[in-house]
Structure 1
């Protein structure tokens, strides 16, 4: 396969949008959950509420992750739709 092939909208290699999407989704998966777990452990140790704050922050981190992934996918689907409409209008 030719490495110099362009993606649908003609800017950059064909694999660039996939890597961007992967990095955005991965960031939304890792960052909120890891931060929530680290701060949950620290706050539980400080206030002596062993699993309570940890579990609450883990749940909040999960909800933030779900919201972030939803936003990324919504924007990506919108972008794909716009590119498809552009391609269809060029062909007509």
Structure 2
């Protein structure tokens, strides 16, 4: 259950923050939807990086448990 929550937060938090920041920046500078798209793109790149990193970490933990 911990792993599920960890991955869920890793995926959801950047997306929500990107949406809020992108909408705010677009409203402030009148660039709708350009900055929202930029923020989502950055959030996607960050999410992919973090998910791969966590998958490797949990994969190593799983291998350690199997070897015991």
Q: Give your verdict on TM over 0.5.
A: yes
Of 9, 27, 31, the match for 1:45: 27
- The separation in 2 between residues aligned to 1:71 and 1:22, in whole angstroms, is 15
- Give a deviation string over 1:31-83, Cα, whole Å, max 9, x none: 00110111000000000111111000001111111111111111010001111
Of 10, 32, 53, the match for 2:14: 32
Structure 1 unmatched ranges of 5 or more: 1-18, 87-92
More RCO (CA 8 Å, sep 6+): 2
Q: Which has the higher helix share?
A: 2
Q: Partner of 2:20: helix, strand, or coil?
A: helix
Task: Tell me the TM-score normalized by structure 1.
Answer: 0.71
- The separation in 1 between residues aligned to 2:54 and 2:46, in whole angstroms, is 12
Structure 2 unmatched ranges of 5 or more: none
Backbone CA RMSD of aligned residues: 0.8
* Segments ≥4 residues shifted beyond 6 Å: none
Of 9, 21, 35, the match for 2:3: 21
